Structure 1
Amino acid sequence: MAGAGGGGGDAGDGFYSDFMVLRPDKGGLYALFHLMWSCKVSENAAVDCPAGTEMSDWRRRWAVLVSLVAQVLMLWVKKPMALIGRATEYWMNLVNENGGVVLVLVLRALQVFHVSQLKPSHGNNPVTAILPTPLSEFQEDPGSSLDYRGFPGRGSADTMVAHAAISSYLGVAGAAQAVFPKSTGMGTWFYTGGFFPPSKQVSVANSFMKALGLQRHGGWPKDVVEQDPRKPFAYYAIREALRRFLSENADARFVVAGHSLGGALAVLFPAVLALHREDAVLARLQGVYTFGQPRVGDESFGRFIMDACLGKPSRYFRFVYCNDIVPRAPYDDSALQFKHFGTCLYFNSLYTGQVMHEEPNKNYFSELTVAPKVVNAAWELLRSFLIGYVAGPEYAEGWLMRLARVAGLVLPGLSPHSPRDYVNSARLGARLLRQMS
């Protein structure tokens, strides 16, 4: 179990001693080569961990190396990708504001018509956004155990507390940082979760915890005294709003749902409620539903949360669509030790569902599945032209989604992660859901 007070790294001061944090801002060539050839990771400038930490397993060092390289690349492309995103979003709205016809837009730009060109702004209603425009912006502890320098300085979440439902999901900030395993006597990765009861030795993805509001000093205190009221920590703000809502509505129940990284947070939210013994709130939890959720913890964490609040009967349902790569990451193997838990509702590319313990091809990368994935991606591209006629006009896909399907021919695991496929799975695969109700 992690103890208070750390060794040589800043991340553990006053909280835990078993941790590892990657610093892509310090990830130079020497640091990368050092990871390949030296087991003394505490001497690496790009790795923040207790003094004297060694990692003798070369597989784990390579996992750290791959993660660090990926984060360095993300630092390099952050600004150009943000510029491309803003330009794409502006263009989509510009076309929409001018009737949805590119020719009309061009003619107006050339002033052939005596009609002023309409320019989109976020003051217009509605304005299309590639990422959800946050209704509430939540704070991250800038001094907590993950360093987000070079990435967005906050997590953003859309949170709705209405009709006894909470829907919480994060934008790109939560995806920016990942921490990879440290070799410990207990075989845990990241650090052992020192904020859980001593009888529950679990490991949890620290990046997700930080996005939810993990504190550097004290982990998950029952209450946080000092926080910006305009940007409160996500967990505490949602918990207080939920308490108020339930106290005002005696018969209400609530669900927690999220897509992708928001799905990870949807699972962690009731785990922290259980940690704080919010029994009155958890008693009114109807269920947790996640869509395209990555793995968030090890097998011990799965047992902890299922025993504490989500099992008997199961109240946790994990939707997985076809070849979506995100639910198959991070790896479930002896080196990384990530594990899914709960009930898996798997849907194929015909939106036919079945109940499974684990989705097929659980770690995604396999030479035997390359050809079937490409064939399936080609079918999804063809389906994008047909589904509006077969299932109804409300299912018709636009040009942007079709471009994503084309990209899926090269990277078959990316386009299946779109919320559209998960919405279609829930609607067109409703027979399975009715059978379970």
Structure 2
Amino acid sequence: MNSADLGRRVGVPSTALFTDQYELTMVQAALKAGTADRRSVFEAFTRRLPEGRRYGVVAGIGRVLDAVENFHFDDEMLTFLREQNVVDGPTLAWLADYRFSGDIWGYLEGEVYFPGSPILRVEGSFAECVLLETVILSILNHDSAIAAAASRMSAAAGGRGLIEMGARRTHELSAVASARAAYIGGFDTTSDLAAGFRYNIPTVGTSAHAFTLLHDTERDAFRAQVDSLGRGTTLLVDTYDVAEAVRTAVEVAGTELGAVRIDSGDLLLVAHRVRQQLDELGATGTKIVVTSDLDEYAIASLAAAPVDAYGVGTQLVTGSGHPTCSMVYKLVARAPSTDPAEPLRPVAKKSLGAKTSVGGRKWAARRLDENGVAEAEVIGTGPVPAELADRQLLAELVRGGEVIAREPLDAARERHIAARSGLPMSAMQLSRGEPVIPTEYM
């Protein structure tokens, strides 16, 4: 991979307080106990996929790299921690000099994952690694959930255009992250200008119902928009009567009208009627865009409709019912002392119930069948079998604290298309089911 920037990282603030207090109190106690510098390995993974999902989508790795790079405590933060008595003086002094100096390996953005996949592996001292837990999980859990929803919608769309337009349905900062994740998952454009500015995602947008209502007549509104934006614009035709609006739109813009947007009603029926009307008026090249609380199921139900593009908001930015991936960040190996020559020992949580983990520093590979289709996610802690050597999934992202694996967002988008196409066809089914391939441990 090259070192191309992901986009404009303008005015990126420190991420050091995007954390839970117990990360810092653990560091304090470990410093006092003399165990803070023990070499450690943490892994981010999920024990299960969200109910009904057949695969997960890795998104947020680029944002994690930014977060790690900008994780440092400035004077104002240290003053806050001191005034709130969060940690003691020696710990504050340690935090003042904090910069992550370890190594990070992980699945690349756009790749698919399954239960147990070691999506991110963070190696360094216990103290420097444990501080990153919350910020890493907050990014991966959010972005991967959005990317998975986007991927399902992309598969349902069958190559038709997809517009991300959920900025007004979520927090302003998560809206930007959502647009980025949606682009990785298969969306083509976003309505959010901040996402376009920061990540070079193509942006689109024309007008809302308010613009039509502003004018004395619908014709006046259409004329104003066409005069300003040209005949290739998209006119919103469901403010009043759809059939009358379509007729007026073609009269105003001519048969070169770019598109019409439908935002209400029985979209399947209305789209067919609008297509027929456009064709009869000679606007055979005018496209139809539909919006209105769409999700992957609604998109799939419109497969037979003459629709050219879908605009999706609420359901996308909320993960279409699964706003998190339930990823966890667990210590899986550590040295018995601070001696750098000491070998790592596997450790794992062994509590009752489903909250167990598998110890050891892991590798991961995807085994293919004779047709080149994925048949298993293979995870191990020992030597990598020769037949899986060229199928390994973890890539080096950070070496000695330095980010070495930035890439353009389009690379992640293309990787996802390839990864998804390499899964069994049943992965595209929207019906509930188990992960499309099993996870095997070696």
**TM-score of the superposition, structure 2-length normalised?**
0.28
Instruction: For CA contacts below 8 A with separation 6 or more, give which structure has more relative contact order.
Output: 2
**Structure with greater strand percent:** 2
> Which has the higher Rg, Structure 1 or Structure 2?
2
